[in-house]
């Protein structure tokens, strides 16, 4: 892994003031960030009225790195309160940041939620939780969170992933690797473009794991209109069921993604934006203290209307019974 800096878009003072004022006004109006249709409607109206300079900061990912960091939003460590022990107890902690992320997500596309994850919330709290230390989910800590495509098992997965950093005293790195920076043998690309294996639901989707239906085989790589894209989650891909040729090609892809991986050290107030079609992300291991000072991120997922980066065959997948809820029809 190369500890190289991620591309940074430094928010100017006007954009910072516009976003923070707009988010606080919405929060004051509704009393909480509990998502309901009226709040989403107000977010959409407000996002549509944001100035062009602010919207420019939210333009599409425009480098092969497939990600960027929005930097400059203020965050008071004491004001946001202690890091929750679980997403289920987070409630309205740092609620203004839920609204900020929803505003940014709405400028970039259409925020989505999942019926089977974090009670259908549009903004998730990602915190280490006791008893989940070794899982391959955002609640883990002591294990490497393997590089993966977010919600890779589902055809309705996000095009963009947003991670807002609330707290990161220990500088715990988010890892990221772009397929556009990788160097792959054409023969391996051809092998991995075949729909050979399924990607199974991860441990955050317990209902999906019990779905009664044949898992669809999906390609790992494919060529979209603007270049190579991927759908990748080795922790939930039954590689033992593949041929030696496929496993070898998959292993070389893993090694190449590891070679081009970067470590992104998020600072409080940073918002990392990841192109989920180009970049796999993960997290290095750490020792959670559970004392209110642990790493704390907020996560939002975004679909971009009209984007054509997925194979047409994905429309026939059952998604293991999971439904993505779009904020705006």
Q: State how far the alpha carbon of 210 is from the alpha carbons of 88, 203, 221, in Å.
A: 22, 11, 27
CA–CA dist 215, 198 (Å, integer): 6
- pTM comes to 0.95
Does 194 map to a domain?
A: yes
Provide the number of structural domains found in the chain: 1
Does 273 map to a domain?
A: yes
CA–CA dist 261, 182 (Å, integer): 9
Which two three-digit tokens encode residue 21? 């004022």
Does 328 map to a domain?
A: no
Q: What is the pLDDT of residue 2?
A: 45
Does 314 map to a domain?
A: no
**Runs of H (alpha helix) within the chain:** 13-30, 37-48, 52-57, 95-108, 186-192, 206-209, 244-260
Query: Exposed, middle or buried, 5 (CB in 10 Å: 0-12/13-18/19+)?
Result: exposed
**CATH value at residue 30:** 3.60.130.10
Length of the chain: 329
Q: What is the pLDDT of residue 113?
A: 95
Does 20 map to a domain?
A: yes
CA–CA dist 143, 106 (Å, integer): 33
> For residue 29, what are the domain limits?
8-307
Which two three-digit tokens encode residue 304? 């971009």
Does 325 map to a domain?
A: no
Along the 329 residues of the chain, how does pLDDT read in single tens digits? 444 578 999 999 999 999 999 999 999 999 888 888 999 999 999 999 999 999 999 999 999 999 999 999 999 999 999 999 999 999 889 999 999 999 999 999 999 999 888 988 999 999 999 998 998 888 899 998 899 999 999 999 999 999 999 999 999 999 999 999 999 999 999 999 999 999 999 988 988 999 999 999 999 999 988 899 999 999 999 999 999 999 999 999 999 999 999 999 999 999 999 999 999 999 999 999 999 999 999 999 999 999 988 999 999 999 999 999 999 97
Q: What is the pLDDT of residue 3?
A: 43
Fill in the DSSP letter of residue 218: B
């Amino acid at each position: 892994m190369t500890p190289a800096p991620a591309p940074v878009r430094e928010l100017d003072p006007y954009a910072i003031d516009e976003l923070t004022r707009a988010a606080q006004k919405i929060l004051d109006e509704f009393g909480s960030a509990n998502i309901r249709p009226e709040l989403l409607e107000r977010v959409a109206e407000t996002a549509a009225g944001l100035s062009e300079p602010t919207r420019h900061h939210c333009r599409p990912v425009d480098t092969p790195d497939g990600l960027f960091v929005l930097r400059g939003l203020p965050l008071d460590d004491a004001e946001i309160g202690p890091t929750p022990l679980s997403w289920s107890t987070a409630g309205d902690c740092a609620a203004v940041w839920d609204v900020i992320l929803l505003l940014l997500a709405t400028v970039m596309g259409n925020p989505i939620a999942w019926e089977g994850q974090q009670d259908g919330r549009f903004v998730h709290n990602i915190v280490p939780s006791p008893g989940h230390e070794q899982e391959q989910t955002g609640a883990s800590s002591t294990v490497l969170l393997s590089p993966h495509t977010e919600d890779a098992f589902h055809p309705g997965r996000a095009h963009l992933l947003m991670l807002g950093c609330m707290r990161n005293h220990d500088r715990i790195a988010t890892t990221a690797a772009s397929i556009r920076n990788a160097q792959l043998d054409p023969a391996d690309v051809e092998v991995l473009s075949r729909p050979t294996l399924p990607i199974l639901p991860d441990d955050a989707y317990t209902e999906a794991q019990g779905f009664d239906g044949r898992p669809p085989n999906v390609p790992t790589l494919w060529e979209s209109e603007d270049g190579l894209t991927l759908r990748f989650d080795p922790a939930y891909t039954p590689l033992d069921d593949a041929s030696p040729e496929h496993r070898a090609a998959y292993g070389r892809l893993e090694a190449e993604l590891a070679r081009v991986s970067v470590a992104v050290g998020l600072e409080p107030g940073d918002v990392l934006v990841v192109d989920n079609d180009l970049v796999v992300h993960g997290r290095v291991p750490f020792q959670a203290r559970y004392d209110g000072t642990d790493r704390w991120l907020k996560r939002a997922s975004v679909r971009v209307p009209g984007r054509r980066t997925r194979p047409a065959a994905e429309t026939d997948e059952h998604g293991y019974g999971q439904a993505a809820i779009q904020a705006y029809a």
